[in-house]
Structure 1
Amino acid sequence: MSLRAVDATGVAHEQAGAGARIVSLVPSITELLFALGLEPQIVGRTGFCVHPRDRVRNVPKVGGTKAVNVEAIRALQPTHLIVNVDENERGTVEQLRTFVPHVVVTHPQTPHDNLSLYALLGAIFDRDKEAQRLAAMLEARLHEAASRAFAAQNVLYLIWREPWMTVARDTYISAMLRLVNWHTLPDVQGGSAGAARYPAFDFDRSPWLAGVDRILLSSEPYRFTQAHCDALKRDRRVAGKRIELIDGEMVSWYGVRAIEGIAYLVKQAAAA
């Protein structure tokens, strides 16, 4: 069996037949499945799986990424369930594993990991050519980013408020930002003892904020708006820092969206 068919937990998957019935609990993976030409085999998705907008609406919803409707999935009789380490609850996945024959676990942590993600799904669902086409497009974007010089920036990437939350450096988001020489603060690794991958912080008690050049307010998971941006610009605690909105899908969605996301970040950094 090809090593490309081994998922993030080390489980090897045989090639699925034409009758595969796929439920995806990962928004960016759902978009990738469409890009691989698997639309006829996608039988379930979460309410957060919104791309491609004109086609995904025909696929039944099975709850959210964490608030999953187990019985709705059971009724769809899937042969394959696709989940993600960060986005789905382990207990729920184990419950679904009792009746879904094949559970494919994904965990891309860097933009380059999308290459193995394309290969994994291409191998399982007999879409090798489509996967190779996407890989060529991604590699071109990665090469473009690597061949350009960007001014180094320390950035605070906000994903939530009340409490304020950001990202550790071992997240996919932080790895995407590093492609354009943007480095997230605080300088912490979520895998280290006592650290969170998405840490909360206090503007009044975070001395590392002094080193931040740019504050990015993401459109997801919290939907920051221009009103939030304007309010933060009036906050004396961050005076002198560049504060702006950023498209969270372009930065945090892996899969096929990474191709467009890298181009988006290159354009943002070039305009700085």
Structure 2
Amino acid sequence: MTIKPEQETWADAAGQAHPAHNGPARIVSLVPSLTELVCDLGLVDQLVGRTGFCIHPKDVLRRVPKVGGTKDVNLDRLRELAPSHVIVNIDENRRECAEEIARFVPRVIVTHPCSPEDNLDVYRLLGGIFGRQAEAAALASDLRAALDEARQAGASLPREKVLYLIWREPWMTVARSTYISATLATVGWDTLPPGAEPRYPAFEWDAPWLAEVDRVLLSSEPYRFRERHLAEVEAAAGRPACLVDGEMASWYGSRAAAGLRYLAALRRKLAGLE
């Protein structure tokens, strides 16, 4: 009698073990940046659903049905798609929604990258479950190289304390417990305020900690800051300000390596090195 080896499994951010999936899967991603990763892993033909905020890669996703937003998933539409796997994120999707989805979807894959390095585990998780280990390894190799480049850029310049704006009226920023803050720290930008909670604090321009800010970064998402906002912010903060591509600072998944390189180049440019 032949004894089959135990099937390898991969643990997600909730500690759930997921076995390798045999045959084509039916994947729905409720996380924009991970929808892009699913495509970059070569799983486009197995992606049967996404949110309206899943916009990259545009040409491919036009053909993929929408199931609402990240916070307001259309569960009836999701049921109709009969997914074998649904990808969710602790920050971007509501826990109650994920628990309801788990009642009728065989596999709900929970993710929670909190730093650029955490993407290595996400690549390994999805690559393992869906049989895309080679593609995942290539992404991991590129990310490691980008992390080295970003760290070198950060080490070559004095660290700066930055205010990273994500919303206007009320003015909002990010705490150091966020993926954005960890990504910025890799290139030598330490976000203020220094606390971990709340993760996306609102503030007034007379807050005492603003005196420590060296530079203000205005993100393109979720609020779309534009050139016309720079003068307003510089006057309020009394510090230089610049626009930042928010996707490059906040999107994990396969965009993480490009994001780190973008931020490292921006850091050097603002220092007059490029």
Q: Common fold, TM-score beyond 0.5?
A: yes
Instruction: Measure the CA separation in 2 of the matches of 1:147 and 1:220.
Output: 27
Instruction: Measure the CA separation in 1 of the matches of 2:71 and 2:157.
Output: 37
Pairing partner for 1:264 from 262, 265, 270: 262
Amino acid at match of 1:55: V
Pairing partner for 1:30 from 7, 15, 35: 35
Query: How far apart are 1:226 and its partner, in Å?
Result: 1.3
**Match of 2:203?**
201
Amino acid at match of 2:246: G
Instruction: Measure the CA separation in 2 of the matches of 1:37 and 1:150.
Output: 38
Root-mean-square deviation (CA, aligned residues, Å) is 1.1
**Match of 1:115?**
120
Pair 1:184-2:187 in alignment: no
**Match of 2:176?**
169
Amino acid at match of 2:205: F
Pair 1:11-2:16 in alignment: yes
Instruction: Measure the CA separation in 2 of the matches of 1:268 and 1:211.
Output: 21
Query: How far apart are 1:2 and its partner, in Å?
Result: 4.3
Instruction: Measure the CA separation in 2 of the matches of 1:53 and 1:260.
Output: 17
- The 5-angstrom pairing of residues 145-156 of structure 1 reads 145-148=150-153, 149-156=156-163
Amino acid at match of 1:54: D
Count, aligned residues: 262
Instruction: Measure the CA separation in 1 of the matches of 2:51 and 2:101.
Output: 14
Instruction: Measure the CA separation in 2 of the matches of 1:107 and 1:238.
Output: 33
Instruction: Measure the CA separation in 1 of the matches of 2:63 and 2:268.
Output: 38
Q: Deviations over 1:55-90 (max 9, x none)?
A: 111111111100111111010000100000000011
Aligned to 2:142, the other structure's residue is in SS state: helix
Q: Deviations over 1:177-225 (max 9, x none)?
A: 01111000000012xxxxx111111112x10000101111101111111
Pair 1:45-2:50 in alignment: yes
Aligned to 1:9, the other structure's residue is in SS state: coil
Q: Deviations over 1:208-249 (max 9, x none)?
A: 00010111110111111112223223x3x322x111110000
Unaligned 5+ runs, structure 1: 191-195
Amino acid at match of 2:215: R
**Match of 1:227?**
228
Query: How far apart are 1:163 and its partner, in Å?
Result: 1.2
Question: Which structure 1 residue ranges, 4+ long, deviate > 4 Å from structure 2?
Answer: none
Instruction: Measure the CA separation in 2 of the matches of 1:103 and 1:56.
Output: 21
Pairing partner for 1:20 from 25, 35, 38: 25
**Match of 2:3?**
none
Aligned to 1:187, the other structure's residue is in SS state: coil
Amino acid at match of 1:262: L
Does the 8 A contact of 2:174 with 2:191 survive in 1?
Answer: yes
Aligned to 1:249, the other structure's residue is in SS state: helix
Pairing partner for 1:244 from 221, 242, 245: 242
Pairing partner for 1:57 from 62, 71, 75: 62
Instruction: Measure the CA separation in 1 of the matches of 2:152 and 2:8.
Output: 32
Unaligned 5+ runs, structure 2: 1-6
Identity of aligned residues (%): 55
**Match of 1:210?**
211
Aligned to 2:242, the other structure's residue is in SS state: strand
Aligned to 2:258, the other structure's residue is in SS state: helix
